[in-house]
């Protein structure tokens, strides 16, 4: 029995800036594990500031593209984006009706810059020809306003518009997206024509101007979900989570509206797996040297942390470490469990602060303070720096979680760079500590072992 490969088609235009259109769609398909195909409808000269020129593709060529991939490779679901003329819409509709695959319609009317992407006379064709053959249509508030004939400014407006579009234009499901509405949340209104049911999809509103390609990737994600055999509602929920991630990690490119980042969905999963794998490798080295390292476990215990790459490392949840820390058991260093994300605030704060100065320094481990460790580290050529917790300003002490970032900043300032080793001599109720930093956990543990082995050599 052959493995089924989900197949999705985008019927849309090319954004030369790479942020929207078929480029965004194909990235979305790929990130969600779907084989992507293209029926190109137009070529645009476009960047983050606007659309400079448009060249439409011959409608018969558009239709032929759809037929050609459908008759050989097959199409499980498709989406439309930029359909700029009535002739292109009618050609696309003929092919969609011929093959009968599920269709998601993103009723693209304007680029993020406000430049028009549809001819005025094609608006009626969009309403009469394209939307009625769709399973899902995904207008934003301005597009819903055009389709419904009244301004959509509130959630109640969005509900009324969704119902109007469903009943008058006959798509199965209407999603009026909440990105253009106000409020702390982005709330999408989903209306199911057959049942008359409303549902809401909520996500925190992300403060960024880099939202170019949002509608393209959202609709492509729905099509990808349908191609994989998900129910329409499950595909829509997946798409909401997907686009929220793409916006959160959007790309600050260009001088206008930068693009969302569809690949974040895939990259985050790959990087998280890599971080855990690298930590496990380093923890095995610690276990292989448990006797030696066990002598340097502090009263607060040790931990070894590793952050996602700098672009994705936003807070403590983006750093993995050992839950329950690395303990001293029967005189030996012993990790108390497998690594996980978001379980450390101590070494994680050192890492986050260091990464602000050197994004490559993504790992750290704390050990017991010992003069010999500091002395030996310097002899080995490591950069060593320190800070004095007694000089910590009262306002920093009063703020939860502020001490380590403050101290790390002081140590980096004193060294003129991110050092290999940071230490402090403690304060009232605070144990002295040494922090070993490096690009990855194996490098951190290797630095530690180099120091400890040299100390041992000097004892004999």
Residue among 17, 36, 213, 407 flagged as catalytic = 213
What is the rounded distance in angstroms from the CA atom of residue 408 to the CA atom of residue 346? 12
- List the structure tokens of 411: 């140590």
Catalytic residue among 135, 163, 177, 240: 177
CA 20 centroid distance within chain: 17
d(CA 427, CA 430): 5
Sheet holding 102-105, edge to edge: 51-56, 35-46, 7-15, 77-80, 102-105, 136-137, 173-176, 185-192, 197-204
CA distance 203 to 423: 41
Catalytic residue among 13, 18, 179, 215: 215
Choosing from 80, 125, 211, 244, which is the catalytic residue? Answer: 211
- Give the dihedral of Cα atoms 365, 366, 369, 371; nearest 10 deg: 20
Catalytic site residue 213? yes
Annotated catalytic residue 216: yes
Q: Do 215 and 140 form a contact (C-beta atoms < 8 A)? A: yes
Q: Is 183 a catalytic residue?
A: no
Best CA proximity match to 146, nearest among 172, 184, 103, 117: 117
CA torsion sign for 207, 209, 213, 216 is positive
CA 351, distance to chain mean position in Å, is 20
Q: Can 177 be counted among the known catalytic residues?
A: yes
Q: Which residue has the tokens 């980042």?
A: 261
Catalytic choice (80, 214, 245, 408) = 214
- Which among 79, 138, 163, 216 is annotated as catalytic? 216
Distance CA 284, CA 149 (A): 65
| Lookup: tokens for 173 | 């499901």
Q: For 130, which DSSP code?
A: I
In this structure, is the dihedral angle defined by the CA atoms of residues 305, 328, 446 and 403, taken in order, positive or negative? positive
Sign of CA dihedral 30, 33, 39, 41: negative
Catalytic residues: 177, 211, 213-216
């Amino acid at each position: 029995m052959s493995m089924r490969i989900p197949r999705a088609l985008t019927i849309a235009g090319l954004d030369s800036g790479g942020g929207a259109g078929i480029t965004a769609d194909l990235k979305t398909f790929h990130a969600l594990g779907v084989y992507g195909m293209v029926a190109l409808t137009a070529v645009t000269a476009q960047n983050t500031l606007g659309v400079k020129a448009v060249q439409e593709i011959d409608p018969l060529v558009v239709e032929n593209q759809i037929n050609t991939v459908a008759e050989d490779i097959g199409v499980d679901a498709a989406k439309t984006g930029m359909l700029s003329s009535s002739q292109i819409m009618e050609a696309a509709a003929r092919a969609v009706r011929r093959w009968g695959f599920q269709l998601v319609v993103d009723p693209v009317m304007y680029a993020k810059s406000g430049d028009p992407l549809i001819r005025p006379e094609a608006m009626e064709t969009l309403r009469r020809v394209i939307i009625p053959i769709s399973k899902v249509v995904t207008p934003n508030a301005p597009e819903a306003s055009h389709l419904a004939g009244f301004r959509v400014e509130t959630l109640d407006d969005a509900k009324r518009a969704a119902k109007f579009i469903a009943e008058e234009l006959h798509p199965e499901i209407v999603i009026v997206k909440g990105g253009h509405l106000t409020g702390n949340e982005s709330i999408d209104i989903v209306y199911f024509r057959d049942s008359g049911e409303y549902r809401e999809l909520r996500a925190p509103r992300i403060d960024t101007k880099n939202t170019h390609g949002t509608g393209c990737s959202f609709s492509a994600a729905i099509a990808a979900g349908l191609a994989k055999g998900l129910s329409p509602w499950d595909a829509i929920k997946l798409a909401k989570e997907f686009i929220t991630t793409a916006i959160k990690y959007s790309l600050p490119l260009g001088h206008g509206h930068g693009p969302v980042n569809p690949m974040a969905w895939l990259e985050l999963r790959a990087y998280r797996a890599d971080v855990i794998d690298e930590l496990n490798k380093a923890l095995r080295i610690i276990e292989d040297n448990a006797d030696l390292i066990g002598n340097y476990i502090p009263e607060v215990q040790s931990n070894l942390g590793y952050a996602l790459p700098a672009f994705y490392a936003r807070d403590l949840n983006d750093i993995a470490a050992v839950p329950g820390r690395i303990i001293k058991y029967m005189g030996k260093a012993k990790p108390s469990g497998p690594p996980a994300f978001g379980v450390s605030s101590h070494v994680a704060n050192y890492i986050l602060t260091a990464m602000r100065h050197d994004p490559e320094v993504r790992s750290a481990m704390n050990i017991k303070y010992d003069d010999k460790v500091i002395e030996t580290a310097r002899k080995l050529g490591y950069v060593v720096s320190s800070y004095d917790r007694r000089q910590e300003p009262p306002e920093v002490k009063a703020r939860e979680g502020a001490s380590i970032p403050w101290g790390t900043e002081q140590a980096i300032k004193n060294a003129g760079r991110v050092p290999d080793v940071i230490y402090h001599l403690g304060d009232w109720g605070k144990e002295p500590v040494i922090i070993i930093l490096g690009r990855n956990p194996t490098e951190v543990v290797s630095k530690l072992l180099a120091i400890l082995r040299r100390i041992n050599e000097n004892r004999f």
